[in-house]
Each structure stands twice: as C-alpha cells, then as structure tokens.
Structure 1
Amino acid sequence: MRELAEAMQQFVTARGLNELEGSTATVLPGVRFFRASRGNARQPLTYQSGIIIMGQGHKIIHMGEQQMAYGPGSYLVVGVPLPLECEAFSDGGEPILGLAVDVDLQQLHAMVAQLFPQGQPLTGCSAIECGLSSVALSDALNQACLRLLQALQNDVEAAILGPGLLQEILYRVLTGPNAHVLLELVRHDSHYARIARVLGRMHRDYAAALTVEALASDAHMSVSSFHRAFRQVTRVSPLQYMKQIRLNRARELIQQQGRGIAEAAVLVGYNSASQFSREYKRHFQNNPRGDQR
C-alpha cells in the first residue's frame, strides 16, 4: 500500500500542506485530509462518523478496556460520532497522513435500496459492533482512493470526477466486510439508528440544556431503555457524552479561535467558569490556560 502514501504526499505537495498539523477541508465537500509531523500520546477526542483511510503512520484507539489498531493497508468505518482516546505513531520519522470521507445519508439510503431491493433483509449487528470497525483495504477500494487523491489536486477535476469517486468508495465499503456499520444506520427502527439520530441532535445543540428525558423522547424509547442502548453504542452515559462534546468543542474554541476561557465555557453551555475549568482539567489532564495561544 506504499502507493497510497505516495499519493497522499503528492497531494500534500500540490496543495502546499507540508506545514499542516491537523486536519483541513479539501475542495470536495465532505472530504478532509489529515497530516501530523509526529505522533501523540493517548488523548481524548471525538471520532466523527465516516470512512477513514490511513496512508502513513498508525493509530491505536482505546474504547474502555478495548483497543483497535489501524494504519496503512486498513480502513476504519465509524457509524456514529464516538468519544474515544487515541494514540498516534509516526513510522520511520515520516508524517502521519490520512483521508476522511463523510457518508451522505441520502446517498447511503439510495445505494442500500439498490443493493437490497424489494425488502431484502439487511445484515444486522449488535450495537457494540456497529459503532466502529477496522478491516483490510481491498485493492478496489485502494484504487478508488488513489483516483480520488489525484482528482483532489485539481479543482475542476475534483468537481467533475469527485462525486462519482465518493459514490464508488461508499459502494466498496457497503460491499466489504464491515458494511454492517453503515447498514445498521438504514434500519430506521433499530436502537442503533435511533441513537444515531439523537447523537446528531446532541452535536447540533450541544450548548442547549438537553435532558436525558427529552433525548429518550426523541428516540421514542423509555428512559431506561434509552440509557442502556446509548451506553451500548457510545460506551458512555448520555451525560458523559454531552460533557465530552462540550469540552472538545471548547478546546477547539480556545486553541484554534483564541477564545477566552470564560467565553468558551459560555459558548458550549457552561454556566460556571470554575466548574468548566475543573472538568476541562480532569478530561484533558491540562488546565485550559495551558491551551491558550
């Protein structure tokens, strides 16, 4: 899979991203590119839903007592945004390179309807299996990714060829061994799909005073059933999940936008700056003042 790393480095050079530390949007909506010159120790973050392809370097995801490694030659499918802890490693001193592709739900539903016509049953999975899955990169998916990276180097080529290449990548995943992660999102009445819709609201309205009772009502579930299903999918409680969303967003506001601590606290829904600082330090093992520019 060395050719994928080379294609990513060519994209970096073509787009002048040799100094990039972190992720950046590409000219194609829903596609982001990641680069880091070095690895990082285990730290909390939220993995957004989508398809993640590593070209260089590798990562270890920690989910409670479970671990999952992925790197070149494998790809990751994330069904719903998940609060995790992640370690990143640079191989041979080379920068870490990766590509993340969002999954368009409308396109997903349309493609699943073609793949499973006339009500054919979808392959199910448990809630725990569905949240996250890593498998080997097939040659067909690898070739599609190479063509996408080539197209992303040119705005016109990306605009014309990009949508079709994204459709092919989604197709390759849906016909691959970890298709269940995305298929379960289409099962409208499954607990997994209901929790996925609630997570969408939580990420949109993270600063609002959302209650577990209101979220359970949105999912058309009892509070006890909702709480149990939520923990199965995300491995944390609804309140813990909301706290992690707010703290991760606050860190972005402080580090990337230069917002003050008190301002960031208010923007993510905290009424008490002191409580915010305590929970921030507990979550990131670092005082928020240490993350200010």
Structure 2
Amino acid sequence: MGTGGKLGKKLIRALHLSVFDEGSMVENDRKASSSFRKRGSMIYTKTPSRESLHRKMEQKGRHNGQSIPTKKKKDHGDKDQGNNVDSNSDADGFSVFSSSSLVSERDKGELITLREQVEDLRKKLIEKDELLKSAEMSKDQMNNVYAKLNALNLQSAEKDSRIKMIHSQLSDAKIKLADKQAALEKIQWEVMTSNSKIEELQEELKSSQGDVSSFMLLLEGLSKNDCNERVEDYSLSVYLPESCPYIDDLDDLKMQEMEEARQDYVAAVAAAKARQDEESIAAAAAARSRLQSFVFET
C-alpha cells in the first residue's frame, strides 16, 4: 500500500508538470499571437477531466501493486508509521490534483477565448479579402473609365485639329474670294471706262465721218473748178480758207495720201468698234489726228 501511494504521488506530480507545461505553452502562444499578427493553424487537445485522471491513477496503482512481490511484514510500529506517511502523501496528491484541475479549467477558458479571437480575426480577414477584391474590381473599372476618357480626349483633339484645318481653309477661300471680287470690280471698272471711251470714240467717229464727207465734197468741188458754188451748196465754209489759191496747188500725190489717211481712219474706227480695247482706240485716235492734219494743211 505504501509503494502504491508513492507511485500515485509521482504520477500526480508528473501530471501536474505536464499541465503546467501546457499552460506555459498556452501563455507563450498568447504572447506570440499578441505580438505577431500572422495566420496559422491551431490544434486543440481536450483537457482530461478529474474523473478520468482519478481513474487512470487507480488503474496504474493497482497495476504497480500487483507487479511488486510481497515482502515480509514489519512490526506494528513501522506499519503505523508507513500508514501515516501514505495518508499524508495521498492528501498532498489530492491537493496537487485539485490545483492542477483548476489550472486546466482556467487554461481551457483561455483557449476558448483564444479560439473566439482567432475566429474573429478569421472573419475580419475574410471581410478584408472581400474589400480588397471589391477595391481591385473598382480599380479595374476606373482603369477602363480612364482608358475610355483618354480615347474620347484623343477623338476630341482630332476633331479640334480638323475644325482648325477647316477654318484655315475657309479663311484662305475668303481671301481668294475677296481677291477675285476685287479683280472683278477692277474689270467692271475697266469695262465701264472702255465703254465711256467707246462712246467718246463713236461720237468722234460720227464727227469725223461728217468731216470726211464734207472734205470729200470739197475735193469733188475742187476737181470741177467750181469751188464757190459747192461751198455754198453744202455749207462747207468752215473747212475752206478765205481764198482758195492754195487748193489749185494740190497735186495728185497729196490727194492720194489724204485718201489713204481717210481709209486708214475708217479701218481704225471699225477695228476699235470690234475689239474695244485701248490699243485699237489709240490707233483710231492716231488715224484721226493724221487725217485732220491733212485737212488743216489744205
């Protein structure tokens, strides 16, 4: 019986040490979890109950008592002393067992608390993962929106460049139109000037035709030596001098030159009417002056 008590005491101390080591490991786990925020797996081992421990102790005590051979009995004093020692050791064993059970219950509560904290952390991590996924989706959507915005800005820049080019072409067209309008106005003014000159030439032509007709009548009268009568009949006193002594001195060469000047003048006037330009008008004026010079010389 004494040997079984000693073995039970040793077993209780061993269990107490194992529970104490487990408690220290739990404390270390709590410190590590408080200082390091890392995810990890935890294996929970259920703490043995008081009845199971007591049952294991009894089974081990019986097994040890049966395996040890019986010895001779000592005297009664030694037996009583041994019984007292065994009773004291049993009392110590039960006190250690009760304290170890209290420690195990406290550790069990702490483990439950740790498990709840780990579960809360896991839920928070899941929520953060979902938030991170939603943030990534939002980021992708924003990138797509920015890409579309850049494409729209590019299209807007291209349209602006086209509008500027069209405005430039329109300005050039306006300038060309203004130049053409100025040229048209200049041509219209030149046409008006030419028309006025043509009208003047027509009037001069009419007067020249009258002069030529009168001069031809004068020549016909001179050829018939009937100067005075012809002048009175055709009212050519303006073109005749006061006396006609010099008409008799005209030779055939002079008369031919006058006829050629008259024909040149008629042809120049006809060309001026047809062409209606400055060159033809100037030629007609020169022919008229030449013809008038012959008339005034006579």
TM-score by length of 1: 0.20
Specify which structure has the higher proportion of helix.
Answer: 2
Say which one has the larger Rg: 2
Specify which structure has the higher proportion of strand.
Answer: 1
